[in-house]
Structure 1
Amino acid sequence: MQLRIQLFAGLTEQIGASTIDVSITDRDTELTSAGLMRLLSQKYPQAASLLASSFVAVNQAYADQEQRIHEGDEIAVIPPVSGG
């Protein structure tokens, strides 16, 4: 399964891109948003702490941890933003 993931704010800075492509090779496993975050934390350890507090959006709606992710879904990872 091929996924294209949009990144925002501090994640873009830590990972070095605003969009990443991720390949999921185990087709027998159904990927959830929580599973995606674990996978991204392993792939990008420099961003793991920020990923831990980030939100996942699937098809322009915030996803809970059990939200299934399918090939072709629009996925965004949104870190908490502070400021005034």
Structure 2
Amino acid sequence: MPNANRDRVVVTQAAWMVVALAALVALGRFLVETYFVVSFIGLLVAIQLFAPPEERPACWRPIRLLVVVCFLVFGYLVYLRFAAIV
């Protein structure tokens, strides 16, 4: 069961990323930074939707590591935006 939920997260994230890419390109708003933020929000939503209610098993460790790395990149992007303003 935990692997099934993890697989659902991966499939949902892949679908979200394709839809987000198409929407951003169609709206003429595609930037790598924007695409990353939209994809990261989709990842967080997918994890909350499909995460097991009890403690997450070890097979979720790569997804948790990905979230930590994405938070670091997101923080760096916020820093760059803030530095450009100030």
Q: Report the TM-score when normalising by structure 1.
A: 0.32
Q: Report the TM-score when normalising by structure 2.
A: 0.31
The structure with the largest helix share of the pair is 2
Structure of larger gyration radius = 2
